[in-house]
Structure 1
Amino acid sequence: MNKKRNLLIAIIGTIAIFTVAGILFTKIYQNHLKNEAIIEECFENFDEVGEVVLEKDSFLSEVSCEKGDR
């Protein structure tokens, strides 16, 4: 009985860990695609400017794009 309970706890824990990891991976991937599109649009819009500044506040935040000061 005790072995079955421990096995059940281990299986549920493993499923929980894989679920959280899958959700985080999906969020990181979606954020990467958004940032990639923002950066591409930034360089298309400011192609004649000598300098472009890209900023990111935190790990899962979006990139911001500004003209440089040149």
Structure 2
Amino acid sequence: MPDREFHDTPSRDGGPETDSENWTDAERRRRRAQFLRELAEARALRARVQPRRAKAARLRRAMRMRTFRW
């Protein structure tokens, strides 16, 4: 694969080269929505693959919500 071009990725140390500073609000919302869709899909897959663990997690979450004081 010598003909493939490799580009340097932007640094994540907070320098001026980070792409996140240049995102518009619409782009940020679109990327966030995509992330949340993928997260929901991963959780659904985990629930199908490990039903007992998913049920226990659901029950723990329900208990937390019942004991939470508004």
TM-score (norm 2): 0.42
When Rg is computed on C-alpha atoms for both structures, the one with the higher figure is 1
Higher relative contact order, chain-length normalized (CA < 8 Å, sep 6+): 1
Structure with bigger strand share is 1
